[in-house]
Amino acid sequence: MTAPDTTDPLPTLARAAQPQLRAGVAPQRPADGSPDAGPAQAVTDDAGASAHTAAIDPMTLDPLSESPAQAGRELRGRGLRLWRLRRQGPTPTPTTPPTATAAATTAATEDGVLRSGRLAGKGMNAAIWALSWPVLCESVLNSTNGLVDSMLASGVSQAAADAVTPGAYLTWFIGLISMAIGVGATALIARSIGAGRWAVARAALGQAMLLAVLGGALAAVFLALMAVPLGAVMGLSGRTAELMHHYLWAYALGVPFSTVLFAANACARGAGDTRRPLWVMATVNVVNVIASIALGSWAGLGVLGIGLGTSVAHVVGAALIVGSHARGASGIGLTRRWLRPHRVTAVRLLRLGLPNFFETLGMWAANMLVLLMVGWMNAAETARLLALEAGRPLPGAAPIDQASGGLLGAHLNAIRIEAYSFLPGFAMGIAAGALCGQYLGAGMPQTARRAILRCAAMAVSMMGLMGLLFVFLGRAITGLVSQQPAHLEHTPRLLMITGMVQMPFAVALVMRSALHGAGDVRAVMVLTWISQWGLRLPLAYLLSGVDIPVPGWLGGAPGRVIANPSPLDWGVTGLWVGLCCEIVIRAALYTARFLQGAWVRARV
């Protein structure tokens, strides 16, 4: 069967113009049965939706219906078709009892079996599994992508490993753009499919791709310009600073493609298609390993080759997932029509995405300050090693211009390894967000609550087991990643600390993603900022005992510092204790918001 042209949601607009939609009566499915022809599975107009259900903005149910003027422009040349539809008059109101009508047309059954989208026919447990396992596998591959960079850099030298660490944090900032776009697109696509609004979902996909391209281009320029200043602020010098510049400049070449890659993956997950992003990220991982080894080791480019290999992998991944959307493989087609700017859809994506961007920006800025603390401790340790080597050269010691304390690499290795624990929580969070959006779109808030709690329980059990491995097998795990002495000394201790809080960390991940899926992004933003800046940074600073160096441009002389007022001086270990205490409190804040229930009434 040939599907109708998905580039033009005219049937949706035509039906939206009919009185029966304004009266709250669902239109009938087109003769060919294709969901792309319009919102055939919608039950009622959102103006008549339950007051307890999160609603799609009633002024923009369809991308082309935000105003009569806009509708007229889109339908120019097709006025006769619309006139004929209007002449037919309203469809007679069904005489079936209201309860029977609702039961026949609802987008999900009472026990949570969805009737629309790629999850149609699946119960709650089956839907959670179908959504989560591909995301888990995809996330493992994505983390392996970063871990490969760290392992290859550690194999070059300890200075190279320290150089990649600040680069990884700065590239995290770039990821905020695709994350913000992805959160908005996931919520809008999931809610639209749950309500049977297919034209809205297609428009959201196209506008998300357009925003990802524009945002990625700006981010690439920012990354290239920030490479040198970041090294100076962190106190990096000599060979370590030079290697960091090379890594960031090479990585910046692929940033526009990486933003498209991750935003397009988020759109597919919002449509219930989590397998395709998995295969795409598997390909990206393989390409990254091959290209990074070929350019970094075989071609002798070192850290520069590692960054170039990552960029090549992101280009390949972006081409694969965009091509998949263009073929309509995810259930919603990417067409040229929606790659042109469309104000209403773009505003809706930004309305959802910007709070998430500022939320994650707050997290990134706080963690950058944490990284600066580690950098200051690393600089002090490097100075100690240099003084020791100058007075009494050590056997096998690194050259003076390549000496490094190793704390930055130990910190990043602990984060890279810990990622394999919170990935199950992240996968369950994705499932919770997608199901929450679809159940709310179907008018079933109680079912959405059950899905969230079920995902949280699964995440807690899996991350709790991983935490035990970190506590008892930290050194063995670290040895698989790096054999640098500083890493073997510090990283196992950091893994033991974080292993103790993996269960509350699981709750925080699922609750945050679920609230995002419901569209309650502003509340999550406020809670995240309070937690990060009111708790995370003060605890990390006071427990680490790190002194803040005064930069020369502020009149600081060499060696001048702002002394830490805390009597504690636990170093990087104390810093991680503070970080983990904040995670526990953050989990409690997100859970309290969930129990409050205001997310049910959020609008997308």
pLDDT in tens, 508-557: 999 999 998 888 988 999 999 999 999 999 999 999 999 988 876 666 66
Give pLDDT tens digits for 468-520: 999 999 999 999 988 888 889 999 999 999 999 999 999 999 999 999 888 89
Tell me the chain's radius of gyration from C-alpha atoms. Answer: 26
In a domain, 118, yes or no: no
Helix (H) or strand (E) holding 198: helix 198-233
In a domain, 112, yes or no: no
Give the HSE-up count for residue 55: Cα atoms under 13 Å, Cβ half-sphere. Answer: 15
Instruction: Give residue for tokens 């029509």.
Output: 337
In a domain, 458, yes or no: yes
Residues 243 and 101 placed together within one structural domain of the fold: no
Asked if residue 217 lies in contact with residue 295, where contact means CB atoms within 8 angstroms, the answer is no
In a domain, 460, yes or no: yes
Residues 275 and 367 placed together within one structural domain of the fold: yes
Residue where a domain stops, chosen among 88, 105, 122: 105
Residues 507 and 551 placed together within one structural domain of the fold: yes
In a domain, 388, yes or no: no
Residues 72 and 162 placed together within one structural domain of the fold: no
- Rounded CA separation 187/179 (Å): 12
Q: Identify the DSSP state of 329.
A: T
Residues 583 and 468 placed together within one structural domain of the fold: yes
* pTM, to two decimals: 0.67
Residues 80 and 207 placed together within one structural domain of the fold: no
In a domain, 413, yes or no: yes
Q: Identify the DSSP state of 40.
A: T
Residue where a domain stops, chosen among 63, 83, 105: 105
- Rounded CA separation 457/370 (Å): 30
Asked if residue 544 lies in contact with residue 381, where contact means CB atoms within 8 angstroms, the answer is no
Whether the pLDDT of residue 342 is over 70: the answer is yes
In a domain, 1, yes or no: no
In DSSP terms, 562 is beta-bridged to: 548
Helix (H) or strand (E) holding 9: none
Residues 371 and 509 placed together within one structural domain of the fold: yes
Residues 343 and 480 placed together within one structural domain of the fold: yes
Residues 259 and 366 placed together within one structural domain of the fold: yes
In a domain, 469, yes or no: yes
Asked if residue 62 lies in contact with residue 348, where contact means CB atoms within 8 angstroms, the answer is no
Residues 75 and 201 placed together within one structural domain of the fold: no
Closest CA to 208 of 259, 278, 171, 258: 259
* Structural domain containing residue 52: 10-105
Continuous H helices in 234-254 = 238-252
Which residue has better confidence, 114 or 347?
Answer: 347
Residues 74 and 140 placed together within one structural domain of the fold: no
- Rounded CA separation 474/488 (Å): 9
Q: How many domains does the chain have?
A: 2
Coil vs helix vs strand at 3:
coil
Residue where a domain stops, chosen among 66, 83, 105: 105
Share of the chain above pLDDT 90, in %: 30
